[in-house]
A = this chain, B = another copy of it.
């Protein structure tokens, strides 16, 4: 049977089933990053993610520097999602023979600039030929650190916690759509804003560090939104053993998103709920900490926090609450990276 019959999460479950349990002290595997205890000092965070030409980007649509920038950004976002500090990157390149040296230089310039912005040292890597296949692949492993007791996992949410997000949702999915379908009556500024959120997402590193540094268990769980809000909230609830209610009217939508949705006659909330690659932080908060956390994010990072719902008991399931008061089950409709057909 071909692997194309399997989904990404099925395959991951199959490959990781029965893996040797890490030695005691290794306190988290299967979160946004592995959380590893080397015995003394800070804990180590490790994550890896790749970008594949023709699957995640094309050289025609993405500015070269954005390709390098984004490949690091998606890994930076995983470190941010644990409340950690990025430290070291290893870059593995799979190079097709017909790639131009100028394209490689451009991609690497974006990668290096992004690394510098976030105080991350590129300390190793590997170059291999594709052996004739035309696709460029960039695979990055990122290492970070987090103070003991300050890593934010997916598993700490409790009923009554507020569900919060940074920034606005759906812009990346909308940006992707503008590459695929012509959007009439859309300003170049709106087009550029949304496309940049897709080709060069901004990892919420400083926001993650701030949320991780808070004392007293104010933030109870966190991950980044890479698969889409509905899918990632499901991940959080599964790991925390709880349900959730999302208030549809409270989901933060940007003005460019609303205008492009109108042009493309698409429901903007569909992008916000199910579109992938936002790389915003999704976290749960004790209600008493809301004012303090909101103002810290605003003052130190100029980043808005929006409360989009509340964690519920497990028995309540995941629901979407409409402005008129009725509710419907919220089904995850996540991006499956193996079945992704959309290409930019």
Contact = CB atoms under 8 A, between A and B. Distances in A.
A73 B47 CA distance: 21
Contacts of A42: 38-39
A22 interface: yes
A281 interface: no
A42 to B, nearest CB: 6
Contacts of A50: 92, 94, 126, 128, 139
A38 to B, nearest CB: 6
Nearest to A103: B3
A53 B92 CA distance: 16
Interface string A72-103: 00000000000000011010111101111110
A38 B44 contact: yes
A134 interface: yes
Interface in A113-156: 115-116, 121-135, 137, 139, 141, 143, 145
Q: How many copies does the complex hold?
A: 2
A46 interface: yes
A343 interface: yes
A343 B23 CA distance: 38
Interface stretch (A29-37, A166-174, A195-203, A231-239): A29-37
Contacts of A41: 38-41
Interface in A11-28: 11-12, 14-16, 18-20, 22-23, 26
A100 B1 contact: yes
B343 A131 contact: yes
Between A14, A34, A132, the greatest number of chain B beta carbons within 10 A of the residue's beta carbon is seen for A34
B34 A104 contact: no
Contact of A124 (B23, B34, B38, B52): B34
A262 interface: no
Given A19-B122, A40-B41, A135 B131 contact: yes
Contact of A26 (B104, B123, B127, B145): B123
DSSP class of A's interface residues: helix, strand, loop or mixed? Answer: mixed
Contacts of A34: 88, 90, 123-124
A154 to B, nearest CB: 14
A2 interface: yes
A105 B20 CA distance: 16
A104 to B, nearest CB: 6
Given A2-B101, A128-B50, A19 B94 contact: no
A88 B337 contact: no
A48 B135 contact: no
A112 interface: yes
Interface in A302-325: none
A153 to B, nearest CB: 14
A301 interface: no
A35 to B, nearest CB: 9
A46 B15 contact: no
Contacts of A241: none
7 contacts: A1-B100, A15-B104, A23-B121, A26-B88, A46-B123, A48-B92, A133-B135
